[in-house]
Amino acid sequence: MKMSIELFNHLVRYAEKDLPRESCGLLGGNGGDILSVIPLKNEAGSNRQFFVKEENVQAAFFRLNEIGHDLIAIYHSHPTSNPVPSQADIHFHPDQSVKMAILSLKDKPQLKIFQIAGSRYFEIPYIIMD
Protein backbone atom coordinates (compact mmCIF):
# COMPACT_ATOMS: atom_id res chain seq x y z
CA MET A 1 0.00 0.00 0.00
CA LYS A 2 1.11 3.54 -0.62
CA MET A 3 -0.01 7.15 -0.39
CA SER A 4 1.52 10.46 -1.45
CA ILE A 5 3.03 12.92 1.00
CA GLU A 6 0.48 15.50 -0.25
CA LEU A 7 -2.43 13.28 0.75
CA PHE A 8 -0.81 12.50 4.10
CA ASN A 9 -0.40 16.25 4.74
CA HIS A 10 -4.08 16.84 3.87
CA LEU A 11 -5.07 14.19 6.39
CA VAL A 12 -2.92 15.80 9.09
CA ARG A 13 -4.37 19.27 8.34
CA TYR A 14 -7.97 17.99 8.59
CA ALA A 15 -7.15 16.28 11.89
CA GLU A 16 -5.44 19.37 13.32
CA LYS A 17 -8.42 21.53 12.31
CA ASP A 18 -10.73 19.26 14.35
CA LEU A 19 -8.65 19.47 17.53
CA PRO A 20 -9.32 18.95 20.39
CA ARG A 21 -11.92 16.54 18.96
CA GLU A 22 -11.11 13.29 17.19
CA SER A 23 -11.20 13.65 13.44
CA CYS A 24 -12.60 10.92 11.19
CA GLY A 25 -13.38 10.05 7.61
CA LEU A 26 -12.76 7.72 4.70
CA LEU A 27 -9.67 6.86 2.68
CA GLY A 28 -10.37 5.87 -0.91
CA GLY A 29 -8.28 4.59 -3.77
CA ASN A 30 -7.63 1.79 -6.20
CA GLY A 31 -5.81 -1.44 -5.46
CA GLY A 32 -3.06 -0.63 -2.99
CA ASP A 33 -3.01 3.09 -3.73
CA ILE A 34 -4.67 5.48 -1.27
CA LEU A 35 -5.73 8.41 -3.45
CA SER A 36 -8.44 10.35 -1.60
CA VAL A 37 -9.34 11.60 1.88
CA ILE A 38 -13.00 12.34 2.62
CA PRO A 39 -13.33 13.92 6.07
CA LEU A 40 -16.54 13.32 8.03
CA LYS A 41 -18.06 15.46 10.77
CA ASN A 42 -17.55 13.88 14.20
CA GLU A 43 -21.00 14.26 15.79
CA ALA A 44 -19.71 12.96 19.10
CA GLY A 45 -17.69 16.16 19.58
CA SER A 46 -15.24 14.21 21.68
CA ASN A 47 -11.52 13.70 21.94
CA ARG A 48 -12.09 10.07 22.96
CA GLN A 49 -14.55 8.78 20.36
CA PHE A 50 -16.30 9.52 17.11
CA PHE A 51 -19.78 9.09 15.70
CA VAL A 52 -20.93 9.96 12.19
CA LYS A 53 -24.50 10.42 10.94
CA GLU A 54 -25.67 7.75 8.50
CA GLU A 55 -26.62 10.36 5.87
CA ASN A 56 -23.10 11.81 5.99
CA VAL A 57 -21.59 8.35 5.53
CA GLN A 58 -23.89 7.77 2.54
CA ALA A 59 -22.83 11.11 1.03
CA ALA A 60 -19.16 10.18 1.47
CA PHE A 61 -19.72 6.78 -0.22
CA PHE A 62 -21.49 8.58 -3.06
CA ARG A 63 -18.51 10.94 -3.42
CA LEU A 64 -16.06 8.00 -3.56
CA ASN A 65 -18.20 6.35 -6.20
CA GLU A 66 -18.29 9.57 -8.24
CA ILE A 67 -14.50 9.81 -8.34
CA GLY A 68 -14.11 6.08 -9.06
CA HIS A 69 -12.35 5.15 -5.82
CA ASP A 70 -13.02 2.13 -3.65
CA LEU A 71 -13.31 2.48 0.12
CA ILE A 72 -9.94 1.34 1.48
CA ALA A 73 -10.04 2.41 5.12
CA ILE A 74 -12.01 4.29 7.73
CA TYR A 75 -9.72 6.66 9.60
CA HIS A 76 -9.87 8.52 12.85
CA SER A 77 -7.37 10.52 14.83
CA HIS A 78 -5.96 9.98 18.28
CA PRO A 79 -5.27 13.57 19.43
CA THR A 80 -3.24 12.60 22.49
CA SER A 81 -2.54 8.87 22.28
CA ASN A 82 -0.56 6.40 20.20
CA PRO A 83 -1.89 5.06 16.87
CA VAL A 84 -3.14 1.80 18.37
CA PRO A 85 -6.77 0.57 18.11
CA SER A 86 -8.68 0.71 21.39
CA GLN A 87 -11.12 -2.07 22.31
CA ALA A 88 -13.96 0.33 21.43
CA ASP A 89 -12.34 1.10 18.05
CA ILE A 90 -12.32 -2.63 17.25
CA HIS A 91 -15.80 -3.23 18.64
CA PHE A 92 -17.41 -0.42 16.63
CA HIS A 93 -15.44 -0.95 13.40
CA PRO A 94 -18.37 -1.55 11.02
CA ASP A 95 -16.83 -3.82 8.39
CA GLN A 96 -13.76 -6.03 8.71
CA SER A 97 -13.28 -6.06 4.93
CA VAL A 98 -12.43 -2.35 5.32
CA LYS A 99 -9.16 -1.41 6.99
CA MET A 100 -8.81 0.88 10.00
CA ALA A 101 -6.42 3.82 9.82
CA ILE A 102 -5.42 5.75 12.92
CA LEU A 103 -3.60 9.07 12.81
CA SER A 104 -1.87 9.93 16.06
CA LEU A 105 -1.15 13.59 16.78
CA LYS A 106 0.53 12.79 20.09
CA ASP A 107 4.03 13.64 18.86
CA LYS A 108 5.00 13.90 15.21
CA PRO A 109 1.86 12.95 13.17
CA GLN A 110 1.93 9.20 12.57
CA LEU A 111 -0.55 7.15 10.53
CA LYS A 112 -0.94 3.41 11.01
CA ILE A 113 -3.21 1.13 9.01
CA PHE A 114 -4.70 -2.03 10.47
CA GLN A 115 -6.60 -5.09 9.35
CA ILE A 116 -9.17 -6.00 12.00
CA ALA A 117 -9.88 -9.72 12.47
CA GLY A 118 -12.37 -10.57 15.19
CA SER A 119 -11.06 -8.93 18.35
CA ARG A 120 -7.50 -8.80 17.00
CA TYR A 121 -5.66 -6.40 14.70
CA PHE A 122 -2.69 -6.59 12.38
CA GLU A 123 -0.67 -3.63 11.15
CA ILE A 124 -0.55 -3.26 7.36
CA PRO A 125 2.71 -1.85 6.04
CA TYR A 126 2.52 1.05 3.59
CA ILE A 127 4.81 3.71 2.23
CA ILE A 128 4.48 7.50 1.98
CA MET A 129 5.91 8.72 -1.31
CA ASP A 130 7.47 12.12 -1.96
Count of residues near Zn ion by CB under 5 A = 2
Cβ count within 10 A of residue 21: 19
Q: Which class for 61: exposed (0-12), middle (13-18), buried (19 or more C-beta within 10 A)?
A: middle
CB of 28 to Zn ion, least distance (A): 20
18 contacts Zn ion (rule: CB under 5 A): no
Q: Which residue is nearest to Zn ion (CB)?
A: 89
Q: CA 12 to CA 109: how far, in whole Å?
A: 7
89 contacts Zn ion (rule: CB under 5 A): yes
CB of 102 to Zn ion, least distance (A): 6
Q: Which residues bind Zn ion (CB under 5 A)?
A: 86, 89
